[in-house]
Amino acid sequence: MEVVNTIGRRKSAVARVYVKSGNGTITINSRPIENYFPMEIFQFVVKQPLIVTENVEKFDIKINLDGGGIKGQAEAARLGIARALCEIDAELRPVLKKNGFLTRDPRSVERKKPGQPGARAKFQFSKR
């Protein structure tokens, strides 16, 4: 099997995912997943598509993560892995779709507007 590459995005995080057949190692920015995401919840988020489709020990995954925070990066990686699994085996699509792993979450930070302290906050109004 050749290397399958996909992109996952969430907030301002971008994950470039490279999947090939192997024994289940996940490397993020040239570091093992346990070092990159020390909290187990984020490791679980990244591995969710593999767990649901029962492919945990079948593929070696290399991920280049850029931008965003820890949660956005984990969810971007999850989307990238789910897209790669769909490309490898189209029969996995319904399972991944049902669990919501193929939907790109469009929510991101709203920009700050001029003349205001924040995106929606206004300066306090003083009548006198």
Q: Concatenated DSSP letters for 73-97?
A: HHHHHHHHHHHHHHHH-GGGHHHHH
4-10 vs 59-66, strand pairing mode: unpaired
What's the pLDDT tens digit per position in 70-88?
999 999 999 999 999 999 9
Q: Residues 60, 19: contact at Cβ < 8 Å?
A: yes
- What is the percent of the chain where pLDDT is above 70? 100
Domain count, the chain: 1
Q: Domain range spanning residue 26?
A: 4-98
Residue 1 has pLDDT above 80, yes or no: no
In a domain, 117, yes or no: no
CA–CA distance, 86 with 102 (Å, rounded to integer): 9
**pLDDT at residue 128, as a whole number:** 86
- Within-domain flag for 14: yes
Look up residue 108 and give its DSSP letter: -
pTM metric for this prediction: 0.90
